[in-house]
Chains A and B, each alone.
Chain A
Amino acid sequence: MASSATDLTRPDLTRSGDVDLVRLCQAGDRRAFAELVRRHGPVLRTHLRRMGAQGADADDMAQEAFIAAYEHLAEYRFDGPFSAWLKRIASRRYLKKVRKDARYVLSDDMSAYEPETSVDAGMKAHNLDAALQRLKPVEQLCVTLNFSGDLSHQDIADELKIPLGTVKSHIRRALDQLKSALVSPSVNPVVLDTGS
């Protein structure tokens, strides 16, 4: 009885906006933080995977990013979507790791990553993640930071410490390959459920 009475006095956090949840978190409400994790967890995990992080590593980094975000909530300026702020934190953490392994990820050697000339039918069905896997790691990283992380070309160049022109060429090449791999097949148009 006591717990149900308590539940009645607690607001339904699933209906709260991110801004309200962040303010509750700043006041020390862990339930609000859990709701933020529930809401943005898949987005962050997807973002890290698309940048090139592997399964368990991506999840660990997503967890670290959430905890870092909680501990630095005072630095969130409410000047953009909370998910974008989270992605930026996760991106920086992943890039720190990438820089330690820069010879592999930031290599310009294309030989190991030449796109396959024949694209199978599954790839044609808008499988963005499979198409990303076929890109060179640095291209995958650049295009994801640009499209998913909302970083400008200059921001990416600064973060990766590579020339701006190189970033632009990586993104252009990645986009060309993605568009070629993801040409919408006329036999199977993709339908998205908007949930409304």
Chain B
Amino acid sequence: MTRELLNDDAGDALTDSDLAELFAQPMAFDDAPRFEAKVVRGLSMRLWMRHWLVVLAGFVGGVYALAQIVRVPNLGAQSLRTAAVRTDNTLTAGMQAMDAAGKTVSNFTDQWGHYLGMMQTPTFFWVSFSLCLMFVGLYYAYSQEEAL
């Protein structure tokens, strides 16, 4: 193992290059593995949050877009009932179950119908558009803050 004296003219004042060598020596950290794990975990968490934020934004955007174009369908089971005519009892039972489910969905959408109507108003559009612009502005400001 090779060893070398940092300052072999012991007793003399340090030179700038001696100081530079001292600055190049890092401290010893007992918790180095813990710090490494913390950094990697922090990065994973940030990437995960960003990923799911994009997914959530896509979902909200998709729902909003659908709200602009979709009308609540009449999920009455007339067509299903017609389709079930002249079929065996098992299929009829299945159709009845689907009828019940369809009615539940229909009731649910009826309850939310006025919200959907509100989402299709110009006021809602401009409010949401302004919010989107604000988020884009905040994102830009954040990216500037994060710039190297």
Q: Residue A4 at the B interface, CB < 8 A?
A: no
Interface of A is mostly: helix
Chain B residues 1 to 41 lying within 8 A of chain A, measured CB to CB, are 1-14, 16, 19-20, 22-29, 32, 35-36, 38-40
Q: Residue B44 at the A interface, CB < 8 A?
A: yes
Q: How far is the CA of A49 from the CA of B35 in the complex (A)?
A: 15
- Given A126-B6, A192-B6, A37-B36 contact (CB < 8 Å): yes
- Contacting pair B10 A42 (CB below 8 A): no
On chain B, the number of residues with a Cβ less than 8 Å from chain A's Cβ atoms is 37
- Give the number of residue pairs across the A-B interface with Cβ within 8 Å: 119
Annotate A27-64 by CB proximity to B: 1 below 8 A, 0 otherwise.
00010011001100111011001100000000100110
| 17 cross-chain CB contacts under 8 A | A38-B36, A41-B35, A42-B27, A92-B148, A126-B22, A129-B27, A147-B19, A148-B23, A178-B19, A179-B14, A182-B22, A183-B12, A190-B5, A192-B3, A192-B6, A192-B25, A196-B2
Query: Which residues of A are interface residues toward B (Cβ below 8 A)?
Result: 30, 33-34, 37-38, 41-43, 45-46, 49-50, 59, 62-63, 66-68, 70-72, 75, 88-89, 92, 126, 128-129, 144, 147-148, 175, 178-180, 182-186, 189-196
